[in-house]
Amino acid sequence: MFLSDEFVYVDLNKTGSVSVLNWLHALEFPPRQVTHHLKPDEAIVSSGILKFATIRNPWDYYLSLWSYGVKRKRKSGPYLALTRFRPLKSRGYTQNPFRAVCGFVPALLAAARQDWTANLHLYADPNNPDAFRTWLRKVMDPKLAPLLSGAYYSSRLHSHSGLYSYRFCNLYCAGSKTLHSGHLRDPQSLAEWAEENCYIDRFLHTESLAADFRSVMLDHRLARAETLDTVIGAGKPMNASRSAAAKRSDFYDMETRQLVADRESLIINRFGYEFMEE
């Protein structure tokens, strides 16, 4: 999160946030607070300042998340969750203490079924489509949700929606208590809740990040066009985890394409994303 007197940028990981933060620093906005992947408090959410965020095609998001785990293992949440059992980490006690305790036994059972050595091999080669597909099926498996995130599991979104949709709702929507109550038990109720509670005014799409950023800055008179040309043109590149040689269509087969389509319908339908051949 980059908070200034005029706006707040809320950054979801693997959506181009490194570039946006670089641009904001280069434009020399005086920040009141800069903290990665932090949700603004209720006072900021209900304030009149501009609130913008980044979003990414779900198929690209998961490929980037896996690639990041291959390259930056100890900084990747799914890598840590799938390669060792951490019984006291990321259980979701803050969001829903009762359900966090209830989720401990399912986490133990999920851990007992894991081959941790085999999971390590899923992160051995960034150009291995089979490893990515196996990894994706694990990340999308509702039975493994207690390992990935206790808060995700306690929300019960794991029964019908993917980790990306949960992260979207948790970071970009108000009403965290309802999100973690376990009452949003199907995609339709989740979509309706997200539509009502999403507090973001503008979304920057990773696929058109520079153009979208420029548009927000100009529309809200936060920067001049010539300054933006200089900053965006000279800015550091995105922290793209995907290999430059990798093609989306090389990694996804029909099964895994459909898996993302089914589990990430919230984001796909809201933003009109499709699987694009490269």
Model confidence pLDDT, tens digit, residues 118-143: 999 999 999 999 999 999 999 999 99
Sign of CA dihedral 162, 164, 170, 173: negative
Q: What is the pLDDT of residues 42-98, one digit of tens each?
A: 999 999 999 999 999 999 999 999 999 898 876 667 888 888 877 666 655 566 565
User: Edge-to-edge, what's the strand order for the sheet holding 33-34?
Assistant: 33-34, 2-3, 7-10, 50-55, 202-205
HSE, side-chain direction, 13 A CA sphere, residue 114: 29
Which one-letter amino acid corresponds to residue 175?
Answer: G
Question: What is the number of other CB atoms lying within 10 angstroms of the CB of residue 159?
Answer: 13
- Asked if 211 contacts 193 with a C-beta cutoff of 8 angstroms, the reply is no
pTM score: 0.90
For the chain, first and last CA: distance in Å? 32
Beta strand pairing call for 50-55 and 202-205: parallel
Residue with tokens 């498996």: 141
